[in-house]
Amino acid sequence: MRTTLLVAAAALATLSASAAWAEPLFLAKQYTRCTPCHYSPTGGGLLTPYGRLVSHRELSTTGASTTAKASPAAGSDDDPHGEQAFLYGALGDALGPVHLGVEMRPSALRIGFPGGHQDMNFWMNVDLIAAVQKGGWTGYATAGREPPNSAERDGRTLTEAAFISYEHWISYETAQGLRIRGGRFLPAYGVRFADHTTYSRSSLDLDRNDQIYGLEVSGTIGRSLVQAMVSPGKAEAILHDHGHRGFSTAGRWQLDLTPRATVVGSAFYRDSTDLDQKSGSAGGAFGFAPGARVSIWTEVDIDMHPAAVGGTSWVAVNETSVEAYRGVWLKISPQFRTSGSGPGSSDLRRLEFAANLLPRTHWNVNLAYYRDRAFDATTTTLLAQLHLYL
């Protein structure tokens, strides 16, 4: 019974947190990179005017324009009066160079385990996001609500919602495409799946609270995108828990083979801290879309720790997405993590089925079923989430 409760508690802790919206499934629409649609070089967060236009014109079930396909070079993409604009264009061009967004995720969760279940209705996040761009410079910041029981501060678990800014950074991009970014952000590594509880994210310190304070350099070389960062430690450790603060560095390389096929290689090193031993991870991913309605991503990573704290383990994730109807995506994701050599560890297995519905711009409905198995116990999770991005 104790093992069952531990598994259920772990599932609850990981699933009752927020995630920035980013969808690798749009590889099927020939979007191999995040930057055309998102301000962040690592994806997720506030949509650019072009990203908003794409969500309205090409991705949503209803409300699509009969005009030509959106283009990053089109002068009409930055229309502040369109339906896709902030607050449906109610403010028009009053904001000038400032771009705002509001993200809200009311959610319902049911976690089932042998002998019972637990239900939750809660707000995963309510965030205000702002970006300013001028002359190659970009300033970006989020401000919002951190859910209770989702993080630790000074060795204690939060029991009530608190203010947090998950990302705030400044970057400069040259005319040749070289970008330098400094501030708080999530490191570039692997594939940024929309579900932050995916094993290749949650198991590798790439979850919702794992942003770093650091410096990142990225650039495009032909069909390749190269990203590298250095950091004195995780942002939350620097701010609230100095015992876990330590140097880290990461690198990511992406090669676009075709408009619908890409390979990714990544590496991450974390130095020892006062409380943690050094660790590292490395992996590769391959994504391809055999057609305009199907995308398939597979990522395999090795997670390396000293034997005394878990040893080496492997993580494998596949996500296959099919657009059954315009704006209606069905996904299946088998995931696996080996146990390593540490005491009290277990192989983790997950099978996820999900439906991602995009009925109209600003509206996104996520329905997901998870079946997780660890320590010879099985938990099931049902998640219903409305994502409003205004």
Per-residue confidence of the chain (390 residues) as pLDDT tens digits? 444 444 444 444 444 444 444 579 899 999 988 888 999 988 889 999 999 999 998 899 998 754 445 555 444 456 777 889 998 888 888 888 999 999 999 999 999 988 899 999 988 889 999 999 999 999 999 999 877 655 555 444 555 667 889 999 999 999 999 999 999 999 999 999 988 889 999 889 898 889 999 999 999 999 999 999 999 999 999 998 889 999 999 999 999 999 999 999 999 999 999 999 999 999 999 999 999 999 999 999 999 988 777 789 999 999 999 999 999 999 999 999 998 766 667 899 999 999 999 999 999 999 999 999 998 899 999 999 999 998
Model pLDDT, residue 217: 98
pLDDT of 124: 84
CB contact at 8 A, 270 and 250: no
Asked if residue 177 lies in contact with residue 220, where contact means CB atoms within 8 angstroms, the answer is yes
Instruction: Work out the burial of residue 136: count CB atoms within 10 Å of its CB; fewer than 13 is exposed, 13-18 middle, 19 or more buried.
Output: exposed
pLDDT score of 9:
45
Q: Return the H-helix or E-strand segment holding 5.
A: helix 2-15
Residue 115 has a pLDDT of: 87
Question: How confident is the model at residue 110, as a pLDDT?
Answer: 96
On whether the CB atoms of residues 300 and 287 are closer than 8 A, the answer is no
Residue 77 near residue 86 (C-beta atoms within 8 A)? no
pTM of the model: 0.88
Other residues' Cβ atoms within 10 Å of the Cβ of residue 131: 21
Do 264 and 288 meet the contact criterion of CB atoms below 8 Å apart? no
Mean pLDDT across the chain, nearest whole number? 87
CA nearest to 267, candidates 309, 235, 302: 302
Residue spans of beta strands (DSSP E) within the chain: 98-113, 116-134, 137-146, 152-153, 156-157, 162-164, 168-173, 179-185, 212-221, 224-234, 248-258, 261-270, 279-291, 294-304, 312-325, 328-337, 348-360, 363-374, 377-389
Rg over alpha carbons for the chain, rounded to the nearest Å, is 20
